[in-house]
Chain A
């Protein structure tokens, strides 16, 4: 694969993959390293069969490598984990309400288990079907749907104004 071919694929998919990795890891450095490794592996690999859905294939690689990274870093102490500064998940917006919502959303997403966060990301920001999500994350489509449902309940609890707040 030439640099030009890789650049074309990078331009098409890097933003989405970086967003997915940032949401999973909440560390810009980790997301960057994983994205780098994914593209290098992709460029050096010779797949036995043609890749039909490039985005899904790359997401699968990113997810696998992010999980590997979590396992490698599992030895880190909780104190170290807590002290680590989380990268801002969303770009700041000039509207103050949006900023509040984006911060609350970032915190709510971070409070979800990684497997739920991955499903939520692929459903909301990648607009994938549960079958596609299941294939990418190597889980049954039903499991993907349940994880999404549970995650959405938690997100709504935090992000949706309560009825009494609406009245006020």
Chain B
């Protein structure tokens, strides 16, 4: 290294501003939450479980409704057939002398 390099090396640079360190450390702290997020956040898994339970209940209810609709339609068809048969019997009875 020559003279200029040596002289340059001895020069001192200013330090970073004092408050920068504390700012960075503060930025690393978890930020205080507020409102709905604060209320929900303590137990996210519990809320996920509740949501899953709601989904299952909704699916069950939908499937039950579909089943009852099927049952109803079967019953209605049978009733119509029975009614038609009864009407036929009535017709035959009326047509008899």
A-side interface residues toward B, CB under 8 Å? 1-3, 6-7, 10-11, 14-15, 17-19, 22-23, 28, 31-32, 35-36, 39-40, 43, 87-91, 93, 101-102, 105, 124-125, 152, 155-156, 159-160
Contact = CB atoms under 8 A, between A and B. Distances in A.
Contacts of B14: 18-19, 22, 28, 87-88, 90-91
Interface of B: 2-5, 7-9, 11-17, 20-21, 23-29
B28 A124 contact: no
Nearest to B27: A40
Contacts of A156: 2, 4
B35 to A, nearest CB: 24
B20 A90 contact: no
Given A101-B7, A156-B4, A89 B25 contact: no
Given A15-B15, A125-B9, A155 B24 contact: no
Given A90-B12, A124-B9, A10 B29 contact: no
A36 B14 CA distance: 16
A35 B26 CA distance: 15
Nearest to B14: A91
Q: Which 4 A-B pairs have the closest CB atoms?
A: A19-B13, A18-B16, A3-B28, A3-B25
A152 B16 contact: no
B24 A40 contact: yes
A91 B24 contact: no
Given A14-B16, A88-B14, A90-B11, A152 B5 contact: yes
A40 B20 CA distance: 11
11 contacts: A3-B29, A6-B25, A7-B21, A15-B13, A31-B16, A35-B20, A36-B23, A43-B24, A43-B28, A91-B14, A105-B8
Nearest to B28: A3
